[in-house]
Amino acid sequence: MSLHALAGHQLRGCVGRIDASHPLIEALRTASRSVLQDPRFATHPVELEELPSLSIEVSVLSAPKPAASPADFDPLEQGIYLTVANRTGCFLPQVARETGWTREQLLDRLCLEKLGLPASSWRSPQAKLHVFSVQVIGPEPFEKC
């Protein structure tokens, strides 16, 4: 689940799960609460008054499948889930569409931003990449109740 500002499409929160260990409705309930506390926005959390100026987007992921190699994916169509050592991180395909990053740039940024590792860590023999497809619902603006 992602929250973006209607003006400028700035990310305001993004959380989710890779596994399907819970029914979708339960995962949505949990994500709805968690997205408001995205730790990346701890110094500027989403406020109740801000909701009318935000849109919500829900991405429903397919089961991740192993890629033949870390650079073996279609960045515009597939999301990526990378594991290096005990660290993991993912990017939805929307990231590539919005940024225009190449496969290598996506993997570099994933290592830096989500795994907290050097950019080239995805080239390590222990790096494992899984890919998934995404069905996107939204973005939809919040409506006043």
pLDDT of res. 144:
58
Those residues of the chain that have pLDDT short of 50 are none
Q: What pTM did the predictor assign?
A: 0.81
Residue 132 DSSP one-character state: E
Cα 123 to Cα 117: distance, rounded to the nearest angstrom: 12
Cα 9 to Cα 57: distance, rounded to the nearest angstrom: 12
Domains of the chain, start order: 2-141 (3.30.1490.150)
**Pairing between β-strand 2-5 and β-strand 54-61 as defined by DSSP bridges:** antiparallel
pLDDT of res. 138:
84
E-only strand ranges, 1-145:
2-5, 11-14, 54-61, 65-66, 79-84, 87-91, 128-132, 134-141
Cα 1 to Cα 60: distance, rounded to the nearest angstrom: 9
Residue 62 DSSP one-character state: P
